[in-house]
């Protein structure tokens, strides 16, 4: 009898756990590569296989009940990417997207402070030059007819850190670039038994302290004025608008930069999907025709409507693409209240299951309850449904609710702008700057950015970035085509997204 089998037999004799469970555990352990670090096995591999994520109902209204909490709403096996102790450690900083509503301050204050750095009125004066310079570099003709996504990832972190901290090129240490790519690779592959996941997870662990220290020092540089044009960074607006509220510390800002590794990594997945839809060979004819029609007109002129034609087109792209499949919430085991405690504790099992529910984005956006033509590519559909600026008490009562589910309040920003961050009756945030409202489509059928108070704060920023990507494509007569590659590389481009890097671009005078 082998040593591990003897240990298992001995454990079975001394433990109240049924022998078949111990045998199953040992059989599971033999499937784990022997070179994996024991802490990785205990803190990542085992929790991964003990985690259940259930798909929840498709919302009829664009909101998620606060009973579905964001408190630590992340599969337990990935906390080691954020915290040294492999588990939530609030004293090291907390990200708002893993924080329950009841802990965010009055009227979702913490979310409003985060949102203050990515509102659409900031884009043109503060961020747009950075984004357009990035796309000019990315789509330079010298990179034509090459696999695009590997090229994108090679330059992506220049834009990422420029937006967050105002740093590009050699000002970004090698270790910072490495941990960013390793972090995204783990979330792209997700399977903890894969060597590529293990290698990159441990790379993040190795560089985690260095990254947090570096981010903290750079935030101090922004605070002191050492950074050039600090107002053109997200961190500067966080600092100004958090002030002494107690709901967004510098440590929290450091952790938010880690969270955005996941949030902004969806740009890569979305760009690949957009290129695929617009591809000259194998693309979607309806999408290509709509793009041609949109860009042949006054695509930036809203004409009194809440959204311009180009913005409508990008919104419809995201409804169809939906790079983030759902919003994950923590849930409680209802059996614990019936049986007086967790069942696994009663029988002495040395582990716990983690269960979460995912409120689906993609299937909600394509639900025939919301659209008579959900599978038709129609950017005009958003002109027929309400915006966040329209969902007030009267609208809620018209829908059939006694009152707004969330009180409608306003937060005046403190960074020198004449701007207020408001919310709709469903909790959806939007900004009113210089008396101009910048609403979002507050309808459950437009779900790629989530719902209500849980909606992605970077929605309008992301849409504006993709507008500039498409302006560049149209202006420079860029076309996308499949590359004739014998063995295209597999590239991690976003959450649960590893793609074949087989699309390239070129310039052709086809229009």
Give tens-digit pLDDT for 53-62: 999 999 999 9
Better-scored residue on pLDDT, 8 or 79: 79
Which one-letter DSSP state was computed for residue 441? B
Calculate the alpha carbon distances from 393 to 300, 303, 430 in Å: 32, 27, 17
Bridge partners of 231? none
Q: What is the pLDDT of residues 320-339, one digit of tens each?
A: 999 999 999 998 766 665 55
Per-residue pLDDT, averaged over 422-437, amounts to 97
pLDDT at 335: 63
Distance CA 91, CA 427 (A): 28
pLDDT at position 5 over 60: no
62-88 per-residue burial string, b: 16 or more CB within 10 A, e: under 16: bbbebebbbebbbbbbbbbbbbeebee
Per-residue pLDDT, averaged over 407-418, amounts to 97
Domains in the chain (CATH in brackets) are 52-327+360-378+461-507 (1.10.630.10)
Any idea how long the chain is?
511
121, 438 in Cβ contact below 8 A?
yes
Bridge partners of 506? 479
Bridge partners of 321? none
pLDDT at position 413 over 90: yes
Side-chain-side CA neighbours of residue 30 (13 Å): 10
pLDDT at 285: 96
For the chain, the average pLDDT equals: 91
391, 85 in Cβ contact below 8 A?
no
Could you give the 3-state DSSP secondary structure of residue 358?
A: strand
Bridge partners of 430? 422
Query: Per-residue confidence at 430, pLDDT binned at 50, 70, 90?
Result: very high
Burial class (CB in 10 A: 0-12, 13-18, 19+), 184: buried
**The dihedral sign for the CA sequence 250, 255, 258, 264:** negative
Per-residue pLDDT, averaged over 72-98, amounts to 94
Burial class (CB in 10 A: 0-12, 13-18, 19+), 394: exposed
Calculate the alpha carbon distances from 345 to 15, 25, 173, 250, 351 in Å: 13, 17, 46, 38, 8
Which one-letter DSSP state was computed for residue 41? I
Could you give the 3-state DSSP secondary structure of residue 359?
A: strand
pLDDT at 341: 59
pLDDT at position 245 over 60: yes
pLDDT at position 434 over 80: yes
Better-scored residue on pLDDT, 269 or 10: 269
Distance CA 26, CA 33 (A): 13
Q: What is the pLDDT of residues 177-211, one digit of tens each?
A: 999 999 999 999 999 999 999 999 999 999 999 99
Distance CA 296, CA 313 (A): 13
pLDDT at 249: 93
pLDDT at position 387 over 80: yes
Could you please report the per-residue DSSP string of 121-182? HHIIIIIHHHHHHHHHHHT-GGGTTS-HHHHHHHHHHHHHHHHHHS--GGGS-HHHHHHHHH
Beta strands 51-55 and 354-360 are: parallel
204-241 per-residue burial string, b: 16 or more CB within 10 A, e: under 16: bbebbeebbebbbebbebbeeeebeebebbbbbbbbbb
Distance CA 74, CA 79 (A): 7
Bridge partners of 497? 494
Distance CA 167, CA 33 (A): 39
pTM for the model stands at 0.92
Could you give the 3-state DSSP secondary structure of residue 352?
A: coil
């Amino acid at each position: 009898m082998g040593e591990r089998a003897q240990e298992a037999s001995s454990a079975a004799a001394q433990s109240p756990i049924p022998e078949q469970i111990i045998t199953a555990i040992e059989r599971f352990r033999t499937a784990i590569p022997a070179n994996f670090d024991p802490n990785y096995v205990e803190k990542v591999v085992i929790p991964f296989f003990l985690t259940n994520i259930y798909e929840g109902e498709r919302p009829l209204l664009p909101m998620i009940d606060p009973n579905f909490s964001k408190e630590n709403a992340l599969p337990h096996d990935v906390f080691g990417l954020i915290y040294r102790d492999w588990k939530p450690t609030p004293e090291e900083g907390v990200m708002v997207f893993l924080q329950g509503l009841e802990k965010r301050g009055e009227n979702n204050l913490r979310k409003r402070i985060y949102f203050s750095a990515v509102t659409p009125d900031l884009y043109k004066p503060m961020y747009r030059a950075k984004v357009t310079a990035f796309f000019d570099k990315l789509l330079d003709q010298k990179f034509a007819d090459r696999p695009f996504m590997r090229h994108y990832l090679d330059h992506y972190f220049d834009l990422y850190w420029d937006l967050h901290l105002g740093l590009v090129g050699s000002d970004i240490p090698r270790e910072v670039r490495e941990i960013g790519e390793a972090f995204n690779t783990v979330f792209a592959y997700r399977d903890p038994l894969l060597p590529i996941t293990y290698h990159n997870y441990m790379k993040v662990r190795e560089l985690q302290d260095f990254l947090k220290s570096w981010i903290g020092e750079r935030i101090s540089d922004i605070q002191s004025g050492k950074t050039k044009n600090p107002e053109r960074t997200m961190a500067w607006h966080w600092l100004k608008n958090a002030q002494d509220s107690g709901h967004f510390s510098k440590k929290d800002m450091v952790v938010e930069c880690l969270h955005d590794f996941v949030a902004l990594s969806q740009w890569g997945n979305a760009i690949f999907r957009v290129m695929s839809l617009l591809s000259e060979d194998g693309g979607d004819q309806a999408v290509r025709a709509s793009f041609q029609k949109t860009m042949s007109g006054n695509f930036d002129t809203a004409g009194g409507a809440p959204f311009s034609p180009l913005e409508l087109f990008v919104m419809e792209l995201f409804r169809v693409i939906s790079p983030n499949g759902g919003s994950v919430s923590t849930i409680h085991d209802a059996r614990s209240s019936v049986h007086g405690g967790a069942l696994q504790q009663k029988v002495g099992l040395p582990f716990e299951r983690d269960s979460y529910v995912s409120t689906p984005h993609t299937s909600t956006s394509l639900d025939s309850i919301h659209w008579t033509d959900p599978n038709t590519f129609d950017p005009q559909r958003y002109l027929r449904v309400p915006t966040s600026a329209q969902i007030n008490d009267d609208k809620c009562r018209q829908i059939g609710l006694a009152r707004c589910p969330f009180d409608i309040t306003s937060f005046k920003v403190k960074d020198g702008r004449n701007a207020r961050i408001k919310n709709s009756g469903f909790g959806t945030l939007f900004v009113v700057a210089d008396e101009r409202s910048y609403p979002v489509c507050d309808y459950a059928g437009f779900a790629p950015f989530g719902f209500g108070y849980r909606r992605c704060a970077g929605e309008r920023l992301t849409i504006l970035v993709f507008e500039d990507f498409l302006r560049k494509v149209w202006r420079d007569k860029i076309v996308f085509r499949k590359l004739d590659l014998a063995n295209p590389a597999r590239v991690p481009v976003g959450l649960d997204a590893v793609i074949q890097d087989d699309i390239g671009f070129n310039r052709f005078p086809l229009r």
